[in-house]
Amino acid sequence: MHHRSETLFSSLAVRLLGAALAVAACVFLILTSARTGFARLLEKYAMLTYSLPAANQATRLARSDADAHRVRAAVLSHLKLIEEAENELE
């Protein structure tokens, strides 16, 4: 009987650990999706209003997103900050 209770406990511990890892992965993915979605919203707003602060925030939220950098470059270009726009596209 002692052996069976140890197996049950270890099985329960493994299931709880698996569930905790799954919840952590879901939370991470939710936060990543929210961050990406907000960056996209800021990109669209920046393009419509030529808002440099919105474009800057979008690139901060999505540093590796080429679209965010292209939008920032377009806003900089519209504001006649050509050298900065060229640097943004590099």
- Identify the pLDDT of residue 31: 96
CA atoms within 13 A on the CB side of 30: 6
Residue 18 pLDDT greater than 60, yes or no: yes
Topology classification of domain 2-88: 1.25.40
Residue 2 pLDDT greater than 60, yes or no: no
- Identify the pLDDT of residue 4: 60
Report domain extents, the chain.
2-88
Would you state the structure tokens that stand for residue 31, as one six-digit string?
């936060």
User: What span, in angstroms and rounded, lies between the C-alpha atoms of 49 and 42?
Assistant: 10
Query: What is this structure's pTM?
Result: 0.76
Q: Is 88 exposed, middle or buried (0-12, 13-18, 19+ CB in 10 A)?
A: buried
pLDDT digits (tens, 9 = 90+) for 25-76: 999 999 999 999 999 999 999 999 999 999 999 999 999 999 999 999 999 9
Q: Is 30 exposed, middle or buried (0-12, 13-18, 19+ CB in 10 A)?
A: exposed
